[in-house]
Amino acid sequence: MSICKVDPAEHSTLAIAPPQVPPTIAVIFGATGDLTHRKIVPAFYHLAKNGLLPDDFAIIGFARRPKSDDEFRQDLEKALLEFSHTKPVDMEIWKKLAAHIYYFQGELDDPAAYQKLAEKLKAIPEAAKIGENYLFYLATAPNYFGEAAKNLKAAGLSSHAGTRHRLIVEKPFGEDLASARELNATLQSAFEERDIFRIDHYLGKETVQNLIYFRFANSIYEPLWNRIYIDHVQITVAEQVGVESRGGYYDEAGASRDMLQNHLFQLFTLTAMEAPASLDAESIRDEKVKVLRSIPTPSLESLAKNVVRAQYGGGFIGGKAIPAYRQEEKVAHDSQTETFVAARFEIDNWRWHGVPFYLRTGKALAAQFTEINIIFKQPPSVLFAAGAESGASRMQANSLRIRIQPNEGIGLSFNVKVPAKAEAEPVDMDFLYKSAQFDHYLPEAYERLLVDALVGESTLFTRSDEVEQAWRLVDSLHELWKKQTVKNLPLYACGSMGPVESDQLLERSGRAWIVPPELKK
């Protein structure tokens, strides 16, 4: 590993290259879990490969299974060879990093284990040069988040004067507004708010970060980004897989808690927010919270008309058989949990008054993609309406497609005249990251987020009030659903784009979901 040569700075990494990572010991709780193997350790490897970790850096894996340091390193190496997004793995880089990886056996709910962890942190060879700069990553089941924070505090490992002990918390952050508030209070009793990093990996995606630059660095779009020119906005997070092995968790959460409360609302707020005063963390997060606060808590009558939920039935996707949701492992046979949700929200502020935002997400859908579509208002067609079979009937509203994944990029749809005919036809103009002439390495989301947490940069992490405002809105949905007396949710076919009720949600106002490129014939 080599030290990153970028000068440190105190402002957002959205504005500059990542600052130098200080010497740190990172402790991963849940170190034998899937997230550690698939995402976290491969991310650390790629940071080392790209010179973004200092020489004085160490990782301790905390888990309950008995394991030696060498066994732990071998497990991680096997996972890295499988899950690294760049191949082949540079074994020289990996072995240099692995030499600084250690294993600690302990129970998450055992206070004595944290006391022993504190001793381990001071006993490893790297401790003398690193000191007490620690990063704790809770890659555990959510019911351990608060317990771990309290135990870290009791062991003297939480934030205190003269130290920067940081805490990364995975999602889901709570299961409703009340539990989110309780968890916030627990974490904030042990760590300062500036040292709590609530992670949402969507915010680490390059295209999501590019939203701020695209909106505010281009004078051709920002003047149009309002109720005068925009008809409506569509945000879709579509998953092609079913719940697979996550049935136990998913049947408690559903699409609204698992995806709407975090991923979709993150995209929503970045799309709708006002220009921040600067690119520092608090300015950007202030504007995101303002968006959520400007969405009134919907009435039950309004929600009944503007929210759709459904479950997938059995079928095939890509030749693979997908059982109906209620037949999935660890799912209740009479489950009322939604695997698809679509909702219409409006923002009660000057910029967006009267502009509907349509959000949808679901599992076992026809394609795997995440995108934001900005649909502009239709121009007057009277100019092209005269005469027989004119181009007016083929004219479409201009739209802007911001593709988050896959095939990251931005596309603009506009009307042109068909050669040799008095007709108009929509065409697309596309920018794709993978075909652009950028010389920069495109990091995975977890790589970017880990660097930011290591240097204390919180722009791409959610703040406590943002989490609570998002839960306020999701809780209103669940309040409605509790009052409904439905025996069975609407079903949609595997490999479709959701139930017919989702299409009707837009059709009632003369609109339709934008068809993604993957599904166009």
Residue 5 lies in a domain: no
Same domain, 46 and 181: yes
**Coil, helix or strand at residue 285:** helix
What is the C-alpha to C-alpha distance for residues 8 and 486, in angstroms, rounded to an integer? 57
**Residue-level pLDDT at 12:** 54
- Report pLDDT digits (tens) over 78-104: 999 999 988 899 999 999 999 999 999
Same domain, 150 and 187: yes
**Residue-level pLDDT at 5:** 35
> Looking at 149, 166, 198, which one is the last position of a domain?
198
Backbone angles phi, psi at 478, to 5 degrees: -70, -30
Residue 437 lies in a domain: no
Same domain, 60 and 151: yes
Average pLDDT for 329-337: 93
Distances in Å between the Cα of 384 and the Cα atoms of 320, 392, 393, 424, 459 are 48, 5, 9, 9, 48
Residue 14 has pLDDT above 70, yes or no: no
Same domain, 225 and 351: yes
Q: Are 18 and 286 in contact (CB under 8 A)?
A: no
> Looking at 170, 198, 226, which one is the last position of a domain?
198
Residue 131 has pLDDT above 50, yes or no: yes
What is the C-alpha to C-alpha distance for residues 146 and 173, in angstroms, rounded to an integer? 10
What is the C-alpha to C-alpha distance for residues 479 and 483, in angstroms, rounded to an integer? 7
Residue 265 has pLDDT above 90, yes or no: yes
**Residue-level pLDDT at 385:** 62
Same domain, 179 and 221: no
Same domain, 175 and 223: no
Average pLDDT for 272-286: 92
Closest C-alpha to 310, from 285, 335, 286: 335
**Coil, helix or strand at residue 347:** coil
**Coil, helix or strand at residue 210:** helix
Q: Higher confidence at residue 118 or residue 4?
A: 118
Residue 439 has pLDDT above 70, yes or no: no
Number of domains in the chain: 2
State the CATH number of the domain containing residue 491: 3.30.360.10
- Report pLDDT digits (tens) over 443-461: 788 999 999 999 998 988 9
Handedness of CA 310, 314, 317, 322 (dihedral sign): positive
**Residue-level pLDDT at 304:** 85
Residue 10 has pLDDT above 50, yes or no: no
Residue 19 lies in a domain: no
Tell whether pTM > 0.75. Answer: yes
Q: Higher confidence at residue 93 or residue 437?
A: 93
Same domain, 270 and 187: no
DSSP letters spanning 99-140: TTEEEEE--TT-HHHHHHHHHHHHHSTTHHHHTT-EEEEE-S
Handedness of CA 261, 487, 484, 479 (dihedral sign): negative
Residue 380 lies in a domain: no
Residue 283 has pLDDT above 90, yes or no: yes
What is the C-alpha to C-alpha distance for residues 186 and 197, in angstroms, rounded to an integer? 14
Residue 391 lies in a domain: no
Same domain, 184 and 210: no
Residue 93 lies in a domain: yes
Same domain, 143 and 78: yes
How sure is the predictor about 440, in pLDDT bands with cuts at 50, 70 and 90? low
Neighbours of 5 (CB within 10 A): 8
Residue 134 lies in a domain: yes
Q: Are 121 and 151 in contact (CB under 8 A)?
A: no
User: Looking at this protein, which amino acid is placed at residue 393?
Assistant: S
By annotation, the residues acting in catalysis are: 263
Same domain, 181 and 235: no
Same domain, 176 and 285: no
Same domain, 492 and 467: yes
**Residue-level pLDDT at 203:** 85
3-state secondary structure 55-106: CCEEEEEEECCCCCHHHHHHHHHHHHHHHCCCCCCCHHHHHHHHCCEEEEEC
State the CATH number of the domain containing residue 150: 3.40.50.720
Residue 352 lies in a domain: yes
What is the C-alpha to C-alpha distance for residues 198 and 221, in angstroms, rounded to an integer? 31
Closest C-alpha to 446, from 206, 233, 266, 274: 206
What is the C-alpha to C-alpha distance for residues 381 and 375, in angstroms, rounded to an integer? 17
- Report pLDDT digits (tens) over 391-416: 445 678 899 999 998 888 999 999 88
> Looking at 198, 232, 250, which one is the last position of a domain?
198
Q: Which residues contact 296 (CB under 8 A, 6 or more apart)?
A: 348
- β-strand partners of 375: 232, 399
Q: Which of 218-227, 301-310, 482-491 has the lowest mean pLDDT?
A: 482-491
| Residue-number span of the structural domain to which 28 is assigned | 24-198
Question: In the numeric block, which tokens belong to residue 111?
Answer: 């206070």
